[in-house]
Amino acid sequence: MPLLDIWHRIRSIFTHPDRDLEAMQFSLGDRDGGGKSGQGSSGPGESDRGSSPAPQKARKRRGTRGRPPRQGAAPVPHGPGEATTGAGAPPKQLGGTWPGQRRPPGPKGKRAEPIPAKIEEAMHRIAELFNVPTSQDVVIRKFAISSRPPARAFIVYIEGLAEAKEIQRQVLDPLMTLARTSHVGKKGLDVTVLNELISAPGAERKETMEEVVAGVLLGETALFVGIAQTAAFLIDVKNPPGRNPTEPVLERTLRGPQLGFVERHRVSTAMIRAYLRDPDLIVEDFVVGRRSRTLTSMVYVRDIANPKVVAEMRRRLTSLDVDVIVDAGVLEGLLRDHAMSPIPTVLATERPDRAALQISQGAVALLVDGSTQALVVPVTYSTFIHSVEDTYLHFSFAVFLRVLRLAGLTVSTLLPGIYIAITNFHNEMLPAPLLLTISAAREGLPLPLVFEVLFMELSFELIREAGVRIPSPLGPTIGIVGALLIGDAAVSASLISPIIVIITALGALANFVLPEQSTASVARVGRFVFVGLASSFGLYGIALGLFAAGIHLASIRSFGVPFLSPIGAWRPGSLDVILRGPIWDQEKRPVFLRPLDLIRQARYARGWDPGVPRDDDARAGDSGQ
């Protein structure tokens, strides 16, 4: 069999051919967001690969499977004719929706439902849409506006999502008291209400029932007023349930901020803005999920992030067709490249300072309402070795910790397998005293070595899972006591050797060194894979597993960026992969992200240092090169 066929068969085990071909065609080489010369940038619903015949063939194959076109997520409507947040967004249709958006509550395929002309019809339609009085948390309150001429009105809100005191102060009191001094005249009732009576900062008129229903479900209050023609408004008095900012649970550090994201969406976006006070920081809102209507924000810096990454993220979000999104982990599974691969291609972080740092380097972050984690793309292998604390430490300490984490990843994944391979197949590699010690410790044991390792590894995984599920005051105690009791009892009963206890403990401790939960999970699962390979083929099995893992890592991408960048596809830049240079030497952003603005600080950032060339000297030196 030719070597090329063998290569394609091994590669097909880990990657889908069409997906990988499309990823190869999705190039981040052009900084202006366009394709080849003479072509404009593609919109969020278009592909950047239209000129290649291979992707066209792949699209043709997928189009013959009989699946209906996907519809779902759409940007949050802001009103007819109003521009969306974020640069490069395509124009909206009338009614504030995007093309292809599913428009509940109306049936699929029908036009947007306008606001009924009569106030009674509007109230009856609202009660029908929200299943009132069956749904008892939906409040509909009728009242009269004492304007000249008088008008009838009603408000709609969901109890618990909107703040009742703010509704009374900013909506009901002005309309029922101040309206007596207002004369509608030629201005119209809608203009008078919006510009003179409502004191809430976030108030806008809506033209369709779909927009009103979507706003009420997000926690806003809908106001319907009418004399001859009914007008509808959405007033932002949201007060969703949630916690105040607290310390991160999984990503704790000794230095740096001690705040983490919370479930309240606008609090999380405000945390990022607290670190990046840049007017070019874009927070672009989407609603994902037909039934959950989860508010999702895409956050990026307009003049830094690669436009193709932004357009690709927007395209994926607007093409989702799901019912419910309850957490960022669900959205990660729907958006990530190579969904069948255990290797994470999306970074999930609960620290706003880390998310802000990634965004400032050219990445794109997603914040999901109700979730305490942000999703960051694109990422590479080194992202999961880094910790935000590396930025706050001296570079020599940061390098030491990164090397330690890389060693912890290797030990956690390979140590049990290497022990099995050397003991069962290659014991001639061990020194004679060590070999005699291992043989004496295993004398009289009834189980094969691989079953000893599996017994201890599975026991430790059970203890770890039990420690997580048990209430927090008892969890650490149960973990420590359970590990001591099981290990001591197994050795005393001559079921396992003491060396296996040491190997298992070292592997577990090395796993706790890893800063990312997703990386630690991959190492935990990979440990069992390498134990199976080592018990069957010895060190040759471990070598085969490493070879297959290397092929897989070299073939996957994160939003078009090779996972092994900048090593797999070498692109020189500032030293910040495994080794890290001084903070004053980090002149460039990561080159493999293809940011619009590659330079993040001056060449000589330490302007106070007498040894640093002055501006005139630096310019003279640059001109002389």
pLDDT of residue 256: 85
| 3-state secondary structure at position 349 | strand
Q: Is the pLDDT of residue 220 over 60?
A: yes
| Angstrom distances, CA of residue 450 to CA of 311, 454, 501 | 50, 6, 13
* pLDDT tens digits along 135-171: 889 999 998 887 667 788 899 999 988 888 888 888 8
Token couple for 177: 């008291």
Between 608 and 216, where is the model more confident? 216
Q: Specify the pTM.
A: 0.76
Q: Is the pLDDT of residue 621 over 60?
A: no
Could you give the CA distance from residue 604 to residue 584 in angstroms, rounded to a whole number?
Answer: 7
pLDDT of residue 367: 95
Cβ–Cβ under 8 Å, residues 339 and 556: no
Could you give the CA distance from residue 363 to residue 492 in angstroms, rounded to a whole number?
Answer: 54
Radius of gyration for the chain, computed over Cα atoms and rounded to the nearest angstrom = 30
Could you give the CA distance from residue 242 to residue 99 in angstroms, rounded to a whole number?
Answer: 33
Cβ–Cβ under 8 Å, residues 84 and 92: yes
Provide the percentage of residues in the chain whose pLDDT is more than 70: 76
Q: Is the pLDDT of residue 46 over 70?
A: no
Could you give the CA distance from residue 166 to residue 177 in angstroms, rounded to a whole number?
Answer: 16
Going by C-alpha positions, the residue among 353, 350, 203 that lies closest to residue 272 is 353
Could you give the CA distance from residue 98 to residue 240 in angstroms, rounded to a whole number?
Answer: 26
Over residues 347-355, the mean pLDDT reads 93
Is the link from the previous residue into 498 a cis peptide, with omega within 30 of 0?
Answer: no
432 Cβ partners below 8 Å, 6+ apart? none
pLDDT of residue 6: 62
pLDDT of residue 109: 45
The DSSP annotation for 171-212 comes to IIHHHHTGGGG-B-GGG-HHHHIIIII---SSEEEE-BHHHH
Give the end-to-end CA distance of the chain in Å, rounded to a whole number. Answer: 54
**What residues pair up with 599 in beta bridges, in sequence order?**
588
* Extended beta strands in 302-396, E state: 347-349, 364-368, 374-377
pLDDT of residue 415: 93
Q: What are the start-end ranges of the H helices in 338-388?
A: 352-360
Could you give the CA distance from residue 88 to residue 83 in angstroms, rounded to a whole number?
Answer: 10
Is the link from the previous residue into 378 a cis peptide, with omega within 30 of 0?
Answer: yes
Q: What are the start-end ranges of the H helices in 319-448?
A: 328-335, 352-360, 389-392, 395-424, 432-441
* pLDDT tens digits along 61-115: 444 444 444 444 555 544 333 333 443 343 333 333 444 444 444 444 456 888 8
pLDDT of residue 469: 78
* pLDDT tens digits along 511-522: 999 988 889 999
Q: Is the pLDDT of residue 562 over 80?
A: yes
| 3-state secondary structure at position 230 | strand
Answer positive or negative: Cα dihedral of 139, 143, 147, 149.
positive
Token couple for 94: 């009338």
Q: What angle do CA 230, 233, 234 make, to 5 degrees?
A: 150
pLDDT of residue 179: 62
Q: Which helix (H) or strand (E) holds 548?
A: helix 539-555
Over residues 193-215, the mean pLDDT reads 85
pLDDT of residue 182: 59
| 3-state secondary structure at position 141 | strand
Token couple for 549: 């893992």
Between 146 and 551, where is the model more confident? 551
The DSSP annotation for 452-512 comes to HHHHHHHHHHHHHHHHHHS-TTTHHHHHHHHHHHHHHHHHHTTSS-HHHHHHHHHHHHHHH
Over residues 116-135, the mean pLDDT reads 90
pLDDT of residue 107: 40
Question: Residue 295's CB: how many other CB atoms inside 10 A?
Answer: 22
| Angstrom distances, CA of residue 374 to CA of 261, 298, 368, 391, 452 | 8, 10, 7, 19, 40
Note the Cα 541 to chain centre separation in Å.
Answer: 35
pLDDT of residue 433: 86
pLDDT of residue 172: 86
Main-chain phi, psi angles of 333, to 5 degrees:
-65, -25
Over residues 171-175, the mean pLDDT reads 84
Token couple for 216: 């009420």
Cβ–Cβ under 8 Å, residues 588 and 574: yes
Cβ–Cβ under 8 Å, residues 409 and 512: no
Pairing of strands 221-226, 151-158: antiparallel
pLDDT of residue 201: 82
Token couple for 109: 């395929």
Main-chain phi, psi angles of 316, to 5 degrees:
-70, -40
Could you tell me the pLDDT band of residue 470, with boundaries at 50, 70 and 90? Answer: confident
Could you give the CA distance from residue 445 to residue 475 in angstroms, rounded to a whole number?
Answer: 32
Could you give the CA distance from residue 206 to residue 42 in angstroms, rounded to a whole number?
Answer: 30
Could you tell me the pLDDT band of residue 463, with boundaries at 50, 70 and 90? Answer: confident
**What residues pair up with 162 in beta bridges, in sequence order?**
159, 238
Over residues 314-322, the mean pLDDT reads 93
Q: In what order do the strands lie in the sheet with 364-368?
A: 74-75, 281-288, 294-301, 364-368, 374-377, 347-349
Q: The tokens 């109230």 sit on which residue?
A: 123
Between 201 and 378, where is the model more confident? 378
pLDDT of residue 212: 92
Question: Residue 285's CB: how many other CB atoms inside 10 A?
Answer: 21
* pLDDT tens digits along 471-502: 766 666 676 777 777 888 888 888 888 888 89
What residue type is 223 in one-letter code?
L
Question: What does the buried/exposed string (b/e) look like for 470-503 if buried means 16 or more CB atoms within 10 Å of the residue's CB?
Answer: eeeeeeeeebeebbeebbeebbeeebbbebbbeb
| Domains of the chain, residue spans | 29-70+242-377, 83-100+113-235, 401-543
Q: Is the pLDDT of residue 45 over 60?
A: no
State the chain's mean pLDDT as an integer: 79
| 3-state secondary structure at position 406 | helix
What residue type is 507 in one-letter code?
G
pLDDT of residue 100: 41
Q: What angle do CA 423, 427, 431 make, to 5 degrees?
A: 115
- Residues found in the chain: 625
Q: Is the pLDDT of residue 43 over 50?
A: no
Residue 591 is classified by DSSP as G
Between 619 and 172, where is the model more confident? 172
Q: Is the pLDDT of residue 541 over 90?
A: yes
| 3-state secondary structure at position 301 | strand
